[in-house]
Every structure is written in C-alpha cells, then in structure tokens.
Chain A
Amino acid sequence: GQNIDQPTEMTATEGAIVQINCTYQTSGFNGLFWYQQHAGEAPTFLSYNVLDGLEEKGRFSSFLSRSKGYSYLLLKELQMKDSASYLCAVRDSNYQLIWGAGTKLIIKP
C-alpha cells in the first residue's frame, strides 16, 4: 500500500530552527508538496519538489531525496504564527495525491 509518514507533533522555540521530516512509499513519484494548515482553516501551499535537492523560499526550505523516499521542511527564525500543522503530500504514478496525516508544530516563546 501507499504510505506517507510524518511525526505527529513537534515543539520548538521562537527564533529557532525546526526540521519536519516526511518519508514516503508510493507507487511511483511525480512530485512532493508541503502545505501549511492553521487550526480550523484551509491548507495553503508552501513548496513543491520534483528533483533532488533543496528549494529555498524565504524562511522556509524543502529538501527531497527520491532514492531515499525522504523529504524535509526546514523552518528558520521561527515566529509564533508558524504554529500550525504541516502536511506532506506525494503525487504518485497515476498523478493522484497521497497525503500524510500532518505534523502539528507548537512554537513556544
């Protein structure tokens, strides 16, 4: 079966750096997405990786290793507003999106 694994919850301190990992086993691979979702709100798109390597976008970066079935989202200079759930999703060989359950990130002052 297809599977996306992410930690359920993580805690970090304001101003610090946090890395949220995502591992996947899917039928084929056609890209990996990260979304941010604040409680009770809609997910919003953060990043897309289809080739190996690091994609940087301001305070957020996303890394992909296709051979290892692994990605991470790196958040720098954490702010209280970064408290949210972070969803990892992989597009499989049928171009269907497979979603992880999300990682709830708690930022403490």
Chain B
Amino acid sequence: DGGITQSPKYLFRKEGQNVTLSCEQNLNHDAMYWYRQDPGQGLRLIYYSQIVNDFQKGDIAEGYSVSREKKESFPLTVTSAQKNPTAFYLCAIGDTGREYGSEKLFFGSGTQLSVL
C-alpha cells in the first residue's frame, strides 16, 4: 500500500521530555515537510528536506529537530525547549508538477500532540 504514514496518531508529552514523531513514505519523493496546525491559524512550516542528509529550517523551527538519513524517513523530534508543543502535526511530501512552482502536497494522517 503506497503512501505516507505518520505515527502515532496521538502522543502525550510530559514536562521536560523529548518526543519523536514518525513520518515514512514509499512514493520515492525527494521533498518532505513538517507542518504544525493550531486552531484558527494557517499551517506553519517547521522543517523541510529536499534531499537525503539535508534539511532546512522553516518559519518556526525553534524547539524542534529533524533528520533525513534515508529518503523514506523524516522524523521530527519535539524537544523540551518547545514550551507550547500542543498542536496537530502534519508531515507532507511534495509532488512536483509539470510547471515549476505547481508542487502539490500529499499529507500524512497527522499526529495530535498534547502535554500531560
């Protein structure tokens, strides 16, 4: 079954704890993204990667870290430095269209992170 898989669906973090959200894809896409979604706000970009072993900070990277050791995997770690981590986290892959700039995103099913 091809696609993009996020896990877990729900995650709880204790004070001072780091937690890691998984994102795996088997569609052989180069570009992968992590977004955060809060109620009443647009999606905000945390990190993105366009090639293995390389990634770039997005608009709200502070308190987060990522790795891209394999093309298929782009895990996100929410560190204890992120003081307001409660949000819906979405991983996405980019499907480049014929026109440059027409890349559309395919999203995973999301992880709801809450603080205990």
Contacts of A45 in B (CB 8 A): 104-106
Q: A106 an interface residue at 8 Å Cβ cutoff?
A: no
A-chain residues with CB within 8 Å of residue B105 when the two chains form the complex: 35, 43, 45, 97
In the bound assembly, the distance between CA atoms of A96 and B43 in angstroms comes to 12
Is B42 a contact partner of A4 (Cβ separation < 8 A)?
A: yes
A50 close to B102 (CB less than 8 A)? yes
The answer to whether B101 and A30 touch across the interface, beta carbons within 8 angstroms, is yes
Chain A's interface size range is 20 to 34
Bin the interface of chain B by size. 10 to 19
The answer to whether residues A43 and B102 also contact, given A4-B42, A101-B41 and a CB cut-off of 8 A, is no
Interface residues of B in 89-116 (CB under 8 A from A): 90, 97, 99, 101-102, 104-110, 112
B98 to chain A, nearest CB (A): 11
Q: How far is the CB of A14 from chain B (nearest CB, A)?
A: 26
CB neighbours of A33 from chain B (8 A)? 104
Closest residue of chain A to B110, judged by CB? A42
Specify which chain A residues have a CB less than 8 angstroms from the CB of B41 in the assembled complex.
Answer: 101
Across the interface, A48 reaches (CB within 8 A) one of B90, B102, B112, namely B102
Residues in B neighbouring A40, C-beta threshold 8 A: 110, 112
Q: Are A41 and B42 in contact (CB under 8 A)?
A: no
Give the dominant DSSP class at B's interface.
loop
Q: Complex Cα distance A36/B112, Å?
A: 19
Docked complex Cα distance between A95 and B42 (Å): 17
- In the complex, which residue of chain A has the Cβ closest to the Cβ of B40? A101
Judging by beta carbons under 8 Å apart, are B101 and A31 in contact?
Answer: yes
Query: In the complex, are the beta carbons of B110 and A96 less than 8 A apart?
Result: no
B40 contacts which chain A residues (CB < 8 A)?
8, 101
* Residue of chain A at shortest CB distance from B97: A48
CA distance A41 to B105 in the complex (A): 14
B45 at the interface (CB under 8 A from A): yes
Interchain CB contact under 8 A, A42 and B101 = no
* Cβ contacts under 8 Å, A11 to chain B: none
Interface positions of B (Cβ within 8 A of A):
40-45, 90, 97, 99, 101-102, 104-110, 112
- 7 closest A-B pairs by CB: A99-B42, A42-B107, A30-B101, A99-B43, A45-B104, A101-B42, A31-B101
